[in-house]
Amino acid sequence: MGRRRPPDPQPTPQATEAVITVSRSPLAQGRSFILKTSTFTAAMAEAGLTLTTSLKYQDGGIYFDASFWPAGYNGRREDELCVRPGNVRSAVAFEARRHVEAVVLPELIAWVQQVQGRNWKQGLPFNCPRPPEFHD
């Protein structure tokens, strides 16, 4: 009787949808956020982006902010994205959302597609504010 061959290792399944964590701070009366979660998740899905994302709705002085951390940066195991949509007076929220959906969100998606999965040790992409710190 011969030895049994061990089973072939199964390939690691690729993520099929983004993991998005949403947090919201309370807003003052008469204020509205400029991005709807459903709009953001639909744009991510349409673009095929499956990275871990924090969507942090905060009351404060920002309009829209996004940060990207590649796998290997400060011990991260995978690429991560943090998006912080701001808020505006409710009277102008419709126009602000329209601008974010038509201009800001497509630019964010294009930028993430360019930087996601990049080998960061070989060079920096455009508009990267500082070199990533790697801890191997």
Report, as an integer, the average pLDDT of 5-24.
Answer: 62
User: Is residue 48 one of the residues assigned to a domain?
Assistant: yes
DSSP E strand boundaries for the chain: 20-24, 31-33, 52-57, 64-69, 80-85, 87-89
Dist CA 112 CA 18 (whole Å): 13
Residue with tokens 């930028």: 111
What are 68-119's pLDDT values in tens digits?
887 776 667 788 899 999 999 999 999 999 999 999 999 999 988 888 766 6
Q: Which residues contact 123 (CB under 8 A, 6 or more apart)?
A: none
Query: Structural domain tally of the chain?
Result: 1
| CATH number of the domain encompassing residue 32 | 3.30.2010
Judge whether 12 lies within some domain.
Answer: no
* pLDDT tens-place string over residues 22-39: 999 899 999 999 999 999
Q: What is the pLDDT of residues 113-135, one digit of tens each?
A: 888 766 665 555 555 555 444 43
Of 13 and 86, the one with more pLDDT: 86
115 three-class SS: helix
pLDDT reading at 9 higher than 60: no
Q: How does the average pLDDT of the chain come out, rounded? A: 79
Print the domain residue range for 113: 20-117
Looking up tokens 């991510």 gives 44
d(CA 108, CA 112): 6
